[in-house]
Structure 1
Amino acid sequence: MSANAATAIWDRVEQQDFRSRVRGALLGGAIGDALGAGIEFNSLADIRAKHGAEGVTDYVPAYGRRGAVTDDTQMTLFTVDGLIRAQVRRDTGAWHPPTDVHRAYLRWAATQRDWGPDERKPDAGWLAREEWLYARRAPGRACLSGLGDETMGTVERPKNPDSKGCGAVMRSAPFGLLVGWEPELVFQLAVECGAQTHGHPTGYLAAGAFAVIMHGLARGESLDGSVQRALALLAARPGHEETADALKQALGAVRQGLPSAERVESLGEGWTAEEALSMGLYCALVAEDVRHGLLLAVNHSGDSDSTGSICGNLLGAMHGETALPPGWLAELEGRATVLELADDFAMEMTQGAALHGPAGSTPAWLERYPRS
C-alpha cells in the first residue's frame, strides 16, 4: 500500500485486514463503553459489593437495557462520519478535515437536544437519521458547551481552554485509522479536532497521542512501538508533560506485578484525558485477550465507560473483529450501525476513487455522505 492516501493501491488481503481492524476498533470500543456504562459512577467497593469479588463480568443494565452505549460511542461514530465526508468533499477542491469533523460533531450535538432526525435536512447524511442515536447518555459538559454554537474551536483559539476532561480523547480512535496518512498528520488532526471542545493542552494532546497509538496498531505495528512514537511526537509540543507522564506510567505499571483493579486505580480515575488514556492503555498492554482486558478496564472507581472504550478501541485494532467476544457483540446496542459505518469507512479509504471523483460519482454514496 502506498503511503499517499489519495493514490493508495490495496490488494485484497490488505483490504480484508484493514476492514477487520476498523471493525474491531469501532465494535471493540463500543463493547468496552457498554460494559462500563452501568458502573460508570460507582466505586470499586460498591461494584464488588453488588457484583461479586471479580466485579462485573458481563453487561449490566444501563439506560434501560443491557449493552447500551454512551456518548463515547456516539461521538466516535460521528468522528468517522466526518472523516468520510472530508474525503468525499476533497473532490470539490475544499480540503480541511477539521471543518468536516466539526460539522459532524454539530450533528451529534443535535442528537442531544432534538427529539429525532430532521427529515428537512437532506445534507445530514444517513448517520444523523439513525433514531437510536437521539439519546442523552451522560454527555460531558465541555462537549456540549464547545458545540453549543457553530464557531469552531482551534488550537490557537480553543473552546473551553481550561478543560482537560476525557471527552476529546475518548472519541479520537478513528483518526488513527487513517493508515495512508503519516503519523505526524494524524496527530495534528486529532489535536485540532480535540481543541474544538477541550482547550487545555492535555485535553487535546492526549487525543493526538491516542490517535497515533491507534495508527500504529491499524498498520499492524506493536502496541509498545506505537506508544514510543506517540511519546516522540508529544515531546515537541508545549504542555505535553502530563500526557507523556501518563503514558510512561502505564508502561511502568506493566512491570510492577500482576494486573489488578488496584493497579489500574493507581493510574487515576479516568475523568481527565491523560488518566483515561493511561488506564485504557495499561489494560490493553497487559490483556491476556480482549475479554480480560476489557473487564480490567471497567472495574474501577471512575470513568469506566471511557476507559473501557479506549481499551476496546486498542484491542480491536490490534486483533481485529474476530477476537471480540461474540456474546457481547450479540447484545451490543447499535451493532448494525457501527458495523455499517465501519465498512463504509474501510471502503472509502481503500476504494474511494471508485466511488467519487472527476470521472464520475456514485449517487448513493453522495446521498449517504453529502459534499455540502
Structure 2
Amino acid sequence: MQFPSPHEHILPNDITCISSPPLPDQFNVKDRIRGSMLGLATGDALGASVEFMPHQQLLAHPVSGMQSGGTWGLKAGQWTDDTSMALCLASSLITTRIFDPYNQMVRYKWWYKYGFLSSTGHCFDIGKATRNALNIFSQRQKILQQAFGLHNEIQVDSLSFKDVRKVYAFDVNCSGPDVAGNGPLMRLASVPLYYFRNPALAVELSGQSARLTHGSEKAIDACRYYAALIVAALRGESKEQLVSQQFYHNHRAWFGAKDLCTEVLYIALGSYKKPGGYEMGIRGSGYIIKSLEAALWAFWSDGNSFRNGVLAAVNLGDDTDTTAAIYGQLAGAYYGAESILPKWLKQLYAKDLIICISDWLYYFGQQSHSTVHKKKNMYYHVPTQLHKKYSNPAIRMHRGMFQSVVPRRVHKAKNYDSYLRDHLPNPQMWASSQAHIRPQYQQIAANHLVPYSDIFQQPFYSGQR
C-alpha cells in the first residue's frame, strides 16, 4: 500500500487501493478490523453535520442518518479530523511497519498543514490541544534540521524515530501533563487493531500514541483502557465480558505495572451504566473522561445494534462526531463491518480506501506478531503529578522497544502528596511540616477512590481535543 506525498494533494477518494495478500481468517477478525475503522468513520460522518449542536436542539431534531451541511458545510458521508488523524496513524503503521511516534507526528503535521488524508483536501477542523502540539512539533523539527545538517522540510520529515532519538535535545512528546482532550481517543483504533495479537503491547503503545499530543495521565489511561476493550472484542470476548465490572481485573496483566488512574478506573467499574443517559449525566464533551464514558454508555445501551448506539452517541450533542467515532471503534470491532447499515456505507466518503487500509493493518499486524514482543519493563513511570520542569519526559528506545523516561529526582511520596493536595475535597494547606496528617489523607483517598469521581471532573478541558 503506497500513500501519496502530501505535496501531491491527492484526495483520499483518488488514492489507488492495492489489495493486501490473502491470509487465513478463521475467527472473522478481518471483518472486525474493517468494522472498527468503518465504524469510526461512520460515526464521525454521522455527527459531522451537527457538531457543537446542544442536546436540547437534537431532542427536537434528532439525527437519523447521513446528512449534509452543518458547521463545516460537508456533503453527506464526509468525515472530519477524527477520521483524518485515524488514517494518518494507520498509514504510519502500514508504511513503517513499526510503531514510530516521530513518523506519526509527521503525518499529523501533513494533515494540519497540507490536508493529507482530509475528506476536503485541507484541515478544516482541529482541536486546540492537537493544534498546539503540532505547532510545537514543527518548531522542534528545527532542532533536527540543525543537528543533521538538513536543508528542507522533506528531508527532516523523512527521518525515523531511530534517527531522532539520538538527538538529546529533541522530544517527540509535544504536550504538557494537564492536557486531557479527547483527541487521542478519537484516532486510536489502528494501534490496537495492528497489535491485537499481543494485548500488552497494544495497550502500552496505545498509551504512547496519546502522549504525543495529550500528556495527561487521564488521556493516556483512557486510551490504554479503550485499546484493551478493542483488543478483547477482536479476540472474541462477549459483550457481557467487555462491559463487566471485572474486565480490568480480569485483564490486569495487559496493563503492566501502571494502574489506571482513578477517573478511568471509575469508568472501568461501570460509571457509564446509566439508563437515563443524558438526564443522568452522560455528556458528549471534549474532555476525554466524559467522551470515554459517553461512548461506553452508547455501547452498553445499544441493544446489540450499531445503528442504535451510534445515533445515541450523536444525539447526546456537543462533540457529536467524536463521541460517535469513539463508539464506532469498539462497536465496529465487536459487531463487525456487516453491522453497519449498507446505505450508510454507500454514502461514506472514501469507503474503499478505509477498507483497504483496514486489510493492510490486518496483514502487517500478522507479520509483526512473530517479531515484536513486549518487554517486561515496558510500563509507565509517569507519576500522578509532575513538576513543570519535569513535564514531557522523553520517549527513548530500550532494546528495540519504547520506554518513557522520567527523571529519578521525582519522588513517589512527593507525587502522592501532590495528588492528595490537588484532588481531595477541601484539602488543608500541605507542607512538609504537616507530614503527620498524611495518613488521614490516605484514608480519605481510599474512601473516595471510586464513589466520588465527581471531585475529579475538570470541565475546563471541554472542547480542547
Which TM-score band applies after superposition, normalised by the shorter structure? Answer: 0.7 to 0.9
Is the Cα–Cα contact under 8 Å of residues 212 and 229 in structure 1 kept in the other structure? Answer: no
Q: Hey, what does 1:78 align to over in structure 2?
A: 88
Separation of aligned partners in 2, 1:107 and 1:317: 25
Q: Hey, what does 2:365 align to over in structure 1?
A: 349
Moved more, 180-189 or 204-213: 180-189
Q: Hey, what does 1:202 align to over in structure 2?
A: 218
Q: Hey, what does 1:246 align to over in structure 2?
A: 267
Separation of aligned partners in 2, 1:64 and 1:11: 37
Does the C-alpha gap of structure 1 residues 277 and 283 become closer, same or farther in structure 2, counting only changes over 3 Å?
same
Does the C-alpha gap of structure 1 residues 251 and 261 become closer, same or farther in structure 2, counting only changes over 3 Å?
closer
What is the aligned counterpart of 2:46 among 35, 50, 60? 35
Q: Hey, what does 1:106 align to over in structure 2?
A: 106
SS of 2:269's equivalent in the other structure is helix
- The aligned amino acid for 2:279 is E
CA drift of 1:311 comes to: 1.0
- The aligned amino acid for 1:112 is Y
CA drift of 1:329 comes to: 0.6
Does the C-alpha gap of structure 1 residues 131 and 140 become closer, same or farther in structure 2, counting only changes over 3 Å?
closer
Separation of aligned partners in 2, 1:162 and 1:181: 32
Is the Cα–Cα contact under 8 Å of residues 200 and 256 in structure 2 kept in the other structure? Answer: no
Deviations 1:304-336 (A, max 9, x none): 111101111111100111111011111112212
- The aligned amino acid for 2:106 is L
Counterparts of 1:214-253 in structure 2 under 5 Å?
214-226=230-242, 228-230=246-248, 232=252, 237=258, 240-253=261-274
Counterparts of 1:124-135 in structure 2 under 5 Å?
128=116, 132=119, 134-135=121-122
- The aligned amino acid for 1:187 is V
Counterparts of 1:75-224 in structure 2 under 5 Å?
75-87=85-97, 97=99, 100-114=100-114, 128=116, 132=119, 134-148=121-135, 149=137, 151=140, 159-224=175-240
Is the Cα–Cα contact under 8 Å of residues 247 and 277 in structure 1 kept in the other structure? Answer: no
What is the aligned counterpart of 1:65 among 75, 97, 102? 75
- The aligned amino acid for 1:35 is L
Does the C-alpha gap of structure 1 residues 235 and 184 become closer, same or farther in structure 2, counting only changes over 3 Å?
closer
What is the aligned counterpart of 1:262 among 276, 279, 284? 279
CA drift of 1:101 comes to: 3.9
CA drift of 1:300 comes to: 1.4
Report the RMSD for the aligned CA atoms in angstroms: 2.8
Is the Cα–Cα contact under 8 Å of residues 35 and 60 in structure 1 kept in the other structure? Answer: yes
More helix by percentage: 1
Does the C-alpha gap of structure 1 residues 277 and 173 become closer, same or farther in structure 2, counting only changes over 3 Å?
same
Does the C-alpha gap of structure 1 residues 69 and 272 become closer, same or farther in structure 2, counting only changes over 3 Å?
same
- The aligned amino acid for 1:56 is V
Is the Cα–Cα contact under 8 Å of residues 165 and 271 in structure 1 kept in the other structure? Answer: yes
CA drift of 1:143 comes to: 1.2
Separation of aligned partners in 1, 2:205 and 2:78: 29
Deviations 1:230-276 (A, max 9, x none): 464669536701111233344532xxx4x65534xx12333111111
CA drift of 1:277 comes to: 0.9
Q: Hey, what does 2:160 align to over in structure 1?
A: none
Separation of aligned partners in 1, 2:46 and 2:185: 18
Q: Hey, what does 2:354 align to over in structure 1?
A: 338
What is the aligned counterpart of 2:318 among 302, 320, 324? 302
SS of 1:108's equivalent in the other structure is helix
Does the C-alpha gap of structure 1 residues 71 and 230 become closer, same or farther in structure 2, counting only changes over 3 Å?
farther
- The aligned amino acid for 2:88 is F
Does the C-alpha gap of structure 1 residues 230 and 194 become closer, same or farther in structure 2, counting only changes over 3 Å?
farther
CA drift of 1:48 comes to: 2.8
Separation of aligned partners in 2, 1:318 and 1:47: 27
Separation of aligned partners in 2, 1:274 and 1:153: 26
> Aligned pair 1:12/2:24, yes or no?
yes
- Segments of 5+ residues of structure 2 without an aligned counterpart are 1-21, 141-169, 370-465
SS of 1:12's equivalent in the other structure is coil
What is the aligned counterpart of 1:283 among 291, 294, 298? 298
SS of 2:182's equivalent in the other structure is coil
SS of 2:28's equivalent in the other structure is helix
Is the Cα–Cα contact under 8 Å of residues 196 and 234 in structure 2 kept in the other structure? Answer: no
Does the C-alpha gap of structure 1 residues 193 and 11 become closer, same or farther in structure 2, counting only changes over 3 Å?
closer
CA drift of 1:30 comes to: 0.6
Does the C-alpha gap of structure 1 residues 23 and 238 become closer, same or farther in structure 2, counting only changes over 3 Å?
closer
CA drift of 1:82 comes to: 2.0
Separation of aligned partners in 2, 1:308 and 1:58: 13
Is the Cα–Cα contact under 8 Å of residues 73 and 171 in structure 1 kept in the other structure? Answer: yes
- Segments of 5+ residues of structure 1 without an aligned counterpart are 1-9, 90-96, 117-127, 354-372
Is the Cα–Cα contact under 8 Å of residues 146 and 153 in structure 1 kept in the other structure? Answer: no
- The aligned amino acid for 2:30 is R
Separation of aligned partners in 1, 2:202 and 2:239: 17
SS of 1:138's equivalent in the other structure is coil
Is the Cα–Cα contact under 8 Å of residues 80 and 118 in structure 2 kept in the other structure? Answer: no
Structure of higher CA gyration radius: 2
Deviations 1:196-249 (A, max 9, x none): 100111112111111111111111112443454446466953670111123334
